[in-house]
Amino acid sequence: MTRTESEVGELYMILRDRKKLASILIVQDISQRELARAAGWKSHSYMGRLLRGEAKTVDAEAAVRISHRLGLPLEHLFLTVVSEKTGSPVQSERTKRGAKKSRPAA
């Protein structure tokens, strides 16, 4: 069965390292509020949750805006994930290789 456009899940981004993001904000003298505005958010509370590790995901548009504001490539800050329509994430090839288990011989 081939996938149709209606079978594709959501695209979202996972913050790779919250401490790295916090360090970048300090070095570049950017506040949480300023970065939250750049992400297109009305409030800075979610940015605070990301920096404290209470949240890990952002939508793709916010991730692109954050990376652009910080002047960094998107892949330095975020991992890209596409969820299946059922809600389970699709594994990347790298993850699949690392998660292979040995199977008993038949």
**Do 59 and 13 meet the contact criterion of CB atoms below 8 Å apart?**
yes
**Residue 100, in any domain of the structure:** no
**Position 80, amino acid:** T
Percent of the chain at pLDDT exceeding 70: 72
Query: At residue 8, does pLDDT exceed 90?
Result: no
**Residue 95, in any domain of the structure:** no
**Do 20 and 70 meet the contact criterion of CB atoms below 8 Å apart?**
no
**Residue 10, in any domain of the structure:** no
Q: Within 10 Å of residue 106's Cβ, how many Cβ atoms?
A: 3
Q: How many domains does the chain have?
A: 1
Query: With bands split at pLDDT 50, 70 and 90, how would you rate the model's confidence at 10?
Result: confident
**Position 52, amino acid:** R
H runs (alpha helix) in 1-106: 18-27, 32-39, 45-52, 60-70, 74-77, 93-98
Per-residue confidence (pLDDT) for residue 9, from 0 to 100? 76
**Residue 103, in any domain of the structure:** no
Per-residue confidence (pLDDT) for residue 7, from 0 to 100? 66
Q: Where in the sequence is the domain holding 40, given as residue range(s)?
A: 17-89
CATH code (residue 37):
1.10.260.40
